Structure 1
Amino acid sequence: MTSHTPRGLRRLSLAGFAATAATLVAVASAPTPALAAEIPGVDEIVHSDNLTQLANVPKSAAFSQLNSDLAFQGKYAFSGNYNGFVVYDISVPTAPAVVSEVLCVGAQNDISVLGNLLFLSTDSSRSDDSCNSTALPASDKNAWEGIKIFDITDKAAPKYIKSVETNCGSHTHTLVPSKKDVYVYVSSYSPSSTYPDCLPPHDAVSIIKVPLSKPTDAAVIAAPNLFPDGGNPGGNGSSSTTGCHDITAYPAKKIAAGACMGDGILLDISNPEAPVVTERVRDLTNFAFWHSASFNNAGTKVVFTDELGGGGLATCNPEIGPNRGADAVYDLAGGKLEFKSYFKIPRENAFNENCVAHNGSIIPAFGRDILVQAWYQGGVSVWDFTDSANPVELGYWERGPLSATGTATGGSWSAYYYNGLIYSNDIAKGFDVLKLDDPRTNSAAAVRFSELNVQTQPQYPACDTVLRDASRGISAKRGVTCVDGGTIRGKVEVSRGATLLAYGATVAGDVRVTGGGTFSLLDSSIAGDVWADELAQVYVAGNRITGDLDVHDTAGAVVISGNTIGGSLECEYNKVAPVNDGVRNTVDHREPGACAEL
């Protein structure tokens, strides 16, 4: 395979950028930015009161190249780097531990995981598909680039098991799971007549089918053309479309959103082997490079990002303004996208700080649409787009520039929320763990994922009812009931088919949940017993329960962690062995059985 230009941080030409910037002066004025004197010093950390750092793990010498994307599974985080990937144990958030480092050069090593498989994107021309390959020019027909697959059954010793070469390489990739297979949508772009394996026109996505029972049989099965008309021709500051930079799939809704250079698209992925473009939008005024996309949980909104300058330029300043290098919020109804607003961080960055909208994920707070997002040296921002037309920032965390005088590429490449915390992969400074403590977002901790690849967006229980108080208890017979820090003056009964998520609740009575989906009870006080029977999964953590806790016949994961239980703890007939996530429960009386050691 071949490669076009060095991939990774793709830049607009400085001349082209200067011309673009000159046209931006007339754009509507930005929110009042930070004064230049308020820009933090070199490596100085500034943050809002609600977002603080718990830990940082610097890069090792072998991983001196750029950090890239992140993926998560159980107690592990997987960190991509242009030189390979690192596996972290994140079970102790204040002290993440390196489990393994795998050297496998091939920018940008975009990363994802599924079960015992890990996938890496190679988007730079290599001498072969090995992890010991050397660089070759893009014009060499013998060069290789594409997808690498690892077996991560043993997190301490991942095994490279398969490679799949793809036309134009793999800048990013997206997993679309099915029952027996996983499909890998490979995004790549920028063909050239001098690249034998990446000739124009290239408006396709390569689709790799990976049989889960035999992943070594993985192969490209299709390469549908998403832009038969050639896509956006470019000009006026917008990019010419020659493929997609990134695709975010939402398998539960059978849709995907593609950020494709000069175009934003929606895809029907009902047949994952033959995705169909159903909607396309352009922004010829403010969007230079459509970079990535996120759905809200309901699938009624899409946030697209504009990576103006390719991630290598300073765009967070008054000269560029609030609408370039920003996010665009679109409502999605009846299959149509309607633009509603832009969002950009309100803080001014230094002249030598690369800063622009980049990778982020949804924070599953009850009843809200909230995104955490990386902005390179602009840091990490948390913002609320529940009101599509009026997004607002809720918090931020930022390092000062890498240099007081020179230009150096750095900052947060990806910032993602996973099971109660925010993880950021800083290009230069390593792996950061952040804690968001805000009444508007804390309820998100009640939503747990066993695995997270942000570009394969998971669906979580959507609150049909959000309660903060109930004078006579709760009797839920259908839908999803969410209790967000409220006082329930009576018992809670959840019938078969209904779901209960509770964070910070005070319940004056028993809690009984039977025959439903997810049951999550976090940081709550229960004056009575808690009974969970025949559920899909159970997460009970950090609670004070005066009576018994009984968990029976759960089909999926059971986490019982850090509770103080005044009665007994009993677990029977659960299909998956219950765990305590490393935090033991304080129990007055331990019954024999699966939970005896929790």
Structure 2
Amino acid sequence: MRAAKSIGIIAAAMLAVGAGAQTAVAEGPNDRIGVSGTDLGTDEIGRSSNLKHLANLDPTGVLATGLGTDIAFQDDKAFVGNYDGFSIIDIRNPKKPRTIVQVSCPGSQNDVTVSGDLLYLSTDSSRSDDSCSSTSQSATVKESWEGIKVFDISDARNPQYVTAVETACGSHTNTLVPGSGKKAGNDYIYVSSYSPRDTYPDCQTPHDLISIVKVPKSNPTRAKVIDTPNLFPDGGYPGAPGPTEIADRSATTGCHDITALPHKGLAAGACMGDGIIMDIDDPERPRVIERVQDTENFAFWHSATFNADATKVVFTDELGGGSAATCNAEVGEKRGANAIYDLSRNGALSFRSYYKIDRHQGSTENCVAHNGSIIPVAGRDLMVQSWYQGGVSVWDFTNSKKPREIAYFERGALPEGVGIGGTWSTYYYNGHIYSSDIRRGFDVLRLKDRSTKKVDKVVMDELNVQSQPRYKVR
């Protein structure tokens, strides 16, 4: 397809990051099996014996100073978000990932989703306009912009900016719901956003909604918001003080993240103060069918993940907003954790247990439950997940009342004063685990465990974790 706009991007031929920044990882004195948490020094790696670190791509080029964020996959490529834009990485040889191109397009979050020849990029910071050369501008200015940008990625070496769609309160995250039946040929993007203020012309209170962007794939320049359904007619959870300042329980003012399960016609939403299940059989008219709250331990409902057969949902609590040190004995095992719910056939949720890494981190290490994905193994419920400076955790929740960690990978604490760091998102894709580290770039891991013996036979050609596919597990 032809792009409607052009943007200033750095072409692949001009990048030196492909070979120079790629580092194959060999075991050495800094690779400490069985060591974790506060026992690790700054440049040391701790891991379980069944999770090997294969490669790392250091941050370089136009994205060197931006924060690494989310990942999407298509064929043999990874698309990695960054506060300064996004990159496309060749992962044909997972031991030697290679940067194909970097796109400079600053904006907070820059979460990515891919669909065929299109890439959807979330902008959740108020900008002077919708271009990739925009500058920061106050949300109190009516002309300021934030929302969804659409790129044509049919030529991975030369992505082209197609169009942009402004959405209320921006786009913190975005979720793809592919159209089917009479709606085939359209993508529906559920845009999650929050934090309204009466002084923001385009982000007014109350904000109990999501934005639905419809994208005709044959003509994406016609993308537009078709509805802003109110998911919380009663205003949602009103919020409450917690046991400490970082543990205040957030009021619901929109959603942080939504994960769709298109083949089941379901979606799970993590909406600050509420966890919800939606019927999305008609993607243009999502309908809330279940809602739960945790007024004792959850501070901020952050994200949701279905297991493979949609009998369970894992919700995460981003206690402290991702910048606090919460993986310690003082905070405990029930706050800043995952909550595991059983899901009935009619969409009812029943709480079963919490899961939190027990590898205690230091007082300067931001650590809390964050983004992860299912590892598709027959008869088991396995998930790989990021915990910021707590690293990567692979855990088993087959018994939803007794979850347990089966593998881990983490780095020692960043030097004091550097700020937040650690792994933002960690996902399983075609036999390997890929991680986007906020400060340290792109990591490739390999899990070798008895429980995942046949997982390599599950072949994926595209993965957007917030749009979970139907896995043909073996």
Instruction: Please tell me the residue identity of whatever aligns with 2:403.
Output: P
Question: Residues of 1 paired with 2:318 and 2:445: CA distance?
Answer: 24
1:458 aligns with 2:459: no
Contact preservation (8 Å) 2:36, 2:47: no
| 1:300-311 to 2 correspondences below 5 Å | 300-311=311-322
State yes or no: 1:396 paired with 2:400.
no
Work out the percentage of aligned pairs sharing the same amino acid.
Answer: 60
Matches within 5 A, 1:150-189: 150-178=151-179, 179-189=184-194
Quickly say closer, same or farther: Cα 1:35–1:71, change in 2 above 3 A: closer
In structure 2, the residue matched to 1:498 is none
Query: Are positions 1:205 and 2:210 aligned together?
Result: yes
**Equivalent residue for 2:384?**
372
Distance 2:35 2:444 in 1: 28
Aligned to 2:222: 217
Match of 1:84 in 2: 85
Matched, 1:313 2:324: yes
One-letter amino acid of the counterpart of residue 203, structure 1: D
- Write the mapping of 1:532-571 to structure 2, written as runs, cut at 5 A: none
Aligned residue type for 2:204? L
Structure-to-structure mapping, 1:350-499, within 5 angstroms: 350-403=362-415, 405-406=416-417, 408-462=419-473, 482=474
Cα pair 1:39 1:348 within 8 Å, conserved: no
Q: CA shift at 1:407, angstroms?
A: 5.6
Map 1:105-184 onto structure 2 (within 5 A).
105-178=106-179, 179-184=184-189
TM superposition shift of 1:444: 1.2
1:327 pairs with one of 338, 344, 362: 338
Distance 1:103 1:298 in 2: 39
Q: 1 CA distance for matches of 2:169 and 2:80?
A: 24
The CA deviation string for residues 434-456 of structure 1, in whole angstroms up to 9 with x for no partner, is 00000111321110110000000
Cα deviations by residue, 1:328-380 (Å, 9 ceiling, x for unpaired): 00000132100000000010101000000000000001211000000000000
User: Are residues 1:336 and 2:348 paired?
Assistant: yes
- 1:181 Cα shift? 0.3
Q: Secondary structure at the match of 1:440?
A: helix
Letter in 2 for 1:140: V
In structure 2, distance between residues paired with 1:36 and 1:183: 42
Question: Structure 1: which amino acid aligns with 2:447?
Answer: L
CA separation in 1, counterparts of 2:383 and 2:297?
A: 21
**How far off its partner does 1:160 sit?**
0.2
Cα offset for 1:170? 0.3
Q: Where has structure 1 moved over 4 Å in runs of 4 or more?
A: 34-38
Higher relative contact order (CA 8 A, sep 6+): 2
Change (3 A) 1:61 1:99: closer
Whole-angstrom distance in 2 between the partners of 1:366 and 1:235: 41
With the length of structure 1 as denominator, give the TM-score of the two structures: 0.71
Could you tell me which residue of structure 2 aligns to residue 245 of structure 1? 256
Q: Distance in 2 between matches of 1:71 and 1:119?
A: 10
Equivalent residues of 2:37, 2:390 under 8 A apart: no
1:326 positional shift: 0.3
How many residue pairs get matched? 429
CA distance in 2, matches of 1:38, 1:324: 20
The equivalent of 1:511 in structure 2 is: none
Deviations 1:403-438 (A, max 9, x none): 1x4362100000000000000000000000000000
**Equivalent residue number for residue 10 of structure 2:** none
Q: CA deviation at 1:38?
A: 4.8
Partner of 1:54: 54
Distance 2:35 2:467 in 1: 39
Please, which moves more after superposition, 290-299 or 406-415?
406-415
Contact 1:54 1:435 in 2 (8 A): yes
Letter in 2 for 1:423: Y
Write the deviation string for residues 148-172 of structure 1: whole angstroms up to 9, x where unpaired: 0000000000000010001100000
1:172 partner letter:
T
Gaps of 5+ in 2: 1-33, 243-248
Other-structure match for 1:296: 307
TM-score normalised per structure 2: 0.89
Please report how far the alpha carbon of residue 61 of structure 1 lies from its aligned counterpart in structure 2 after TM superposition: 3.9
Q: What is the SS of the residue equivalent to 2:350? A: strand
CA distance, structure 2, for counterparts of residue 448 and residue 205 of structure 1: 32
Matches within 5 A, 1:567-578: none
Output the CA distance in 1 between the equivalents of 2:200 and 2:40. Answer: 44
CA offset digits 1:35-76 (Å, max 9, x no partner): 999531112100000001100000114211100000000000
Amino acid at match of 2:331: I
State the distance in 2 between where 1:406 and 1:90 align.
33
What is the rounded CA distance, in whole Å, between the counterparts of 2:36 and 2:470 in structure 1? 41
- The answer to whether the 8 A contact 1:252-1:458 is kept is yes
Hey, what's the Cα distance between the residues in 2 that align with 1:449 and 1:94? 19
Question: What whole-Å deviation, never above 9, does each CA across 1:63-97 have from its counterpart, x for those lacking one?
Answer: 11100000000000000000000000000111101
2:288 to 277, 288, 294: 277
> SS at the partner of 1:422?
strand
Measure, in 2, the Cα distance between the counterparts of 1:448 and 1:383.
21
The residue type equivalent to 1:251 in the other structure is P
Q: Which amino acid aligns with 2:41?
A: G
Of the structure 1 ranges 82-91 and 228-237, higher mean CA displacement relative to structure 2 is found in: 228-237
Q: CA–CA distance in 2 between the matches of 1:438 and 1:357?
A: 23
